[in-house]
Structure 1
Amino acid sequence: MAGSPHPHATVLLEAYEAFGKGDLDRLPELWTDDVRWHEPGAHPLAGDYTGPQEVVGLFGLAFEVTEGSLRVEVRSAFADDTDGVAVVRMTATRGDRHLDVLAAQVHRFEDGRIAEVWDAHTDQAAVDAFFS
């Protein structure tokens, strides 16, 4: 019999729900004040972002570049006392380009909030080509 999800899994799902609704104001409530996001690749959005303002800025730019078409669908989410992973499907369009990749987003938690995220795409070359 399955038990209740770990509280960190609930935080992950709340964050993805807020992102999906475009509620970027909700996200900093789920993050530490010095949250860090690591976006891999060789494209203009790749890099390390520190603090809620920079991470929300990254998300805003991603929405802008994709003309609001970026979607992140959670396929599964797992968490324990220190770490969590969300397996997500990312889709977007940009002009005549289309993105459809899976990613594992690895989260580190501090005091019940998301402190750091590493994004790992199944097809980094497709992500780089899409955002370049």
Structure 2
Amino acid sequence: MSHYEAQYQLGRTFHSCLAAGDWDGIRALLTDDATWTLPGDNTVSGTAEGAEEVVERAKKIASYGLDFELLHILVSRENMALSLHNTARRGELRLDEHLSTVCRLRDGRIASIETYLSDVAGMNAFFV
């Protein structure tokens, strides 16, 4: 498997674990010191530090009933990103956002995640 094929596979695996709620699977993809940063001012915003906190962040996001539609996996020379369309409904609240989740890799594992959103205000309203 080429370097780039490995990055694509890592992206597919991360997405499938997130969509399936496979928290042990996500944990296996992370370095121990992994971080995940999200914009906004809500219950999932800020930086999760360490693999256990990153997994807890994933659990919390998924607990809101999101549909994580994978649009594209993008690779650079050394890193990988997921282009997603996330949707969910909770009562009268509706989430409909496009995002890029940029994963910086180290030794074939995810060392940091930074998420870029199309609708930070919508995210703030939904994740309360």
Hey, what does 1:23 align to over in structure 2? Answer: 22
Hey, what does 2:102 align to over in structure 1? Answer: 106
Hey, what does 1:125 align to over in structure 2? Answer: 121
Give the counterpart letter for 1:104 in structure 2.
S
Whole-angstrom distance in 2 between the partners of 1:81 and 1:109: 10
Please state how far the C-alpha of 1:5 moved relative to its aligned partner: 4.9
Hey, what does 2:84 align to over in structure 1? Answer: 88
CA contact (8 A) 2:21 2:62 kept: no
Whole-angstrom distance in 2 between the partners of 1:4 and 1:109: 12
Give the counterpart letter for 1:63 in structure 2.
A
CA offsets per residue over residues 40-77 of structure 1, 9 Å max, x none? 1011221100112101111222233x2xx212111000
Hey, what does 2:93 align to over in structure 1? Answer: 97
TM score, norm. by length of structure 1: 0.88
Whole-angstrom distance in 1 between the partners of 2:95 and 2:51: 26
Whole-angstrom distance in 1 between the partners of 2:72 and 2:44: 25
Hey, what does 1:78 align to over in structure 2? Answer: 74
Other structure's SS at 1:85 match: strand
Following TM superposition, the consecutive aligned residue runs of length 4 or more in structure 1 with deviations greater than 3 angstroms are: none
Unaligned runs of 5+ in 2: none
Other structure's SS at 1:119 match: strand
CA contact (8 A) 2:85 2:98 kept: yes
CA offsets per residue over residues 22-49 of structure 1, 9 Å max, x none? 1111011111111110011011221100
CA contact (8 A) 2:82 2:102 kept: yes
CA offsets per residue over residues 96-119 of structure 1, 9 Å max, x none? 211011001111000011111110
Please state how far the C-alpha of 1:91 moved relative to its aligned partner: 1.0
TM score, norm. by length of structure 2: 0.91
Hey, what does 2:7 align to over in structure 1? Answer: 8
Count residues in correspondence. Answer: 127
CA contact (8 A) 2:102 2:115 kept: yes
Cα 1:111/1:4, change in 2 over 3 Å: closer
- What RMSD over aligned residues (CA atoms) do the two structures have, in Å? 1.7
CA contact (8 A) 1:6 1:80 kept: no
Other structure's SS at 2:23 match: coil
